[in-house]
Amino acid sequence: MPDVTLPATPRRLPAIGPLLGAQIRYQVRLLLANGRTVAVGIALPVIFLVAGGHHPSASDVARDAVFGLTLTAWNANGVRLVAARQAGVLKRWRATPLPRWCYLTGRITATVLVAVLAGAVTIAVAALFYHLHLTLSATLGVLAVFVLGAAAWAAAATALTAAIPTVEAATPILTLIYFPLIIISGVLGSINEPQWLSTLASYLPAQPLIAGATHALHHTHGTPLLPTRDIVVLAAWAGTGIAIAVLSFRWEPHRATQRRATRTTARPQPNKIAR
């Protein structure tokens, strides 16, 4: 029976490559079309940079850039993903012939690109207006660190969204994790913290991202372009995050709560009404 209803001439499915490319472009445009994402991720760090004074050090610039990058890859990505899931956007995509990995890859890649852009704008502003010295190798090194860091943050946020039930819960949950993490990692400025806390921060994805970017900005001939330890930490976060994201990804809102609500309103309870 299964073959009976297949069409006489099997139709060829479109090639994946162009579909993935179109999905990435589409998701980038969605991110950039959202004024809040652009304002927070790109404009805010630049404002910080301008407000910070006339001669920001390489690590000051790296901090500001990382702030914009992580706001985009973590907060904007996480909130938008939960909102899309709750609105049924993900469910709709899942029912199309676009392979599911393709949609997810498109979304994460677009997030990484826009997050890197957010970091790069800060670096560019510093180079143009604040005499930040930028060689070609330093630029490539910073971009490499940013791509890896953005992947780590985007993957971790995507993995976390599986545990966020509603869009109302998304901002508090993401923010409550984000701010303590970036504060102990020195993104908002150096703090006097106990040794154990800075050790902890060195295993989280923010501090190695700043260290890696600063290292690349200071790069001169004869020193390695990228610090191995920071790169390993970021790569571990990216790899683990993507693995958890893929395994735990939810395409639909939490069904249990939805269904129960529908049923109780749909079925009048005879005893209560008859009295």
Partner 1 sequence: MTAIVLEHVTKRFGDFAAVDDVSFEVPDGQLLAVLGPNGAGKTITLEMLEGFLVPTSGTVRVLGADPRHGGRAWRARVGLVLQSTSLDPEPTVRDTLSLYAPLYPHPYKVDEVLELVDLTADAQTRVGALSGGQSRRVDLAIGIIGRPDILFLDEPTTGLDPEARRRTWAAVENLASTGTTVVLTTHYIDEADHLADRIIVLVDGRLVTDTTPCQLRAKGGPSTIRYPLADGAAADLPSALAHHLDPAGRTIVIRSTDVTGLLRVLVGWADRDGIDLTGLEIGPPSLEDAYLTTIGEPTTPKVRTYA
- Per rule CB under 8 A, is residue 12 in the interface with partner 1? yes
Q: Which long-range contacts (CB under 8 A, 24 or more apart) does 49-52 make?
A: 49/122, 49/125, 49/126, 49/130
Task: Tell me if 227 sits within 8 A of 215, measured CB to CB.
Answer: yes
Q: Does 34 bind partner 1 (CB under 8 A)?
A: yes
Site for partner 1 in 79-98 (CB under 8 A): 84, 87-89, 91-92, 95-98
d(CA 124, CA 61): 10
Query: What is the x/- site pattern for partner 1, positions 255-274, by CB under 8 A?
Result: -x--x--xx-xxxx-x--xx
Q: Is 250 in the site for partner 1 (CB under 8 A)?
A: no
Query: Quick one: which segment of 26-34, 124-132, 143-151, 192-200 binds partner 1 (CB under 8 A)?
Result: 26-34
Residue carrying structure tokens 């209803």: 5
Handedness of CA 217, 235, 247, 168 (dihedral sign): negative
Task: Using the minimum distance from each CB to partner 1, give the nearer residue, 22 or 176.
Answer: 22
Residues of this chain, 117-176, that bind partner 1 according to CB under 8 A: none
Cβ-based nearer residue to partner 1, 136 or 273: 273
Helices (H) and strands (E) in the chain, counts: 14, 0
Please select the residue that binds partner 1; options are 3, 17, 118, 123, rule is CB under 8 A. Answer: 3
Does 223 bind partner 1 (CB under 8 A)? Our answer is no
Look up tokens 């959202």; give the residue: 34
Q: Does 6 bind partner 1 (CB under 8 A)?
A: yes
- What is the smallest separation between the CB atom of 4 and partner 1, expressed in angstroms? 6
Please count the residues of this chain forming the interface with partner 1, following the rule CB under 8 A: 44
CA distance 88 to 144: 35
Q: Closer to partner 1 at the Cβ: 247 or 266?
A: 266
Q: Which of 8, 24, 29, 68 binds partner 1 (CB under 8 A)?
A: 29
Burial of 53 (0-12, 13-18, 19+ CB in 10 A): exposed
Residue from 8, 11, 17, 54 that binds partner 1 (CB under 8 A)? 11
Angle at 47 between CA 41 and CA 53, to 5 degrees: 140
Which token pair is 142? 């910073």
Residue 244's CB: how many other CB atoms inside 10 A?
16
CA–CA separation, 161 vs 2, rounded Å?
38
> Residue type at 16?
I
CB atoms within 10 A of CB 213: 30
Q: How far is the CB of 25 from partner 1 (least distance, A)?
A: 9
Nearer CB in complex with partner 1: 222/270: 270
With binding defined as CB under 8 A, does residue 13 bind partner 1? yes
What residue ranges bind partner 1 (CB under 8 A)?
A: 1-7, 10-14, 18-19, 22-23, 26, 29-30, 33-34, 84, 87-89, 91-92, 95-99, 252, 256, 259, 262-263, 265-268, 270, 273-274
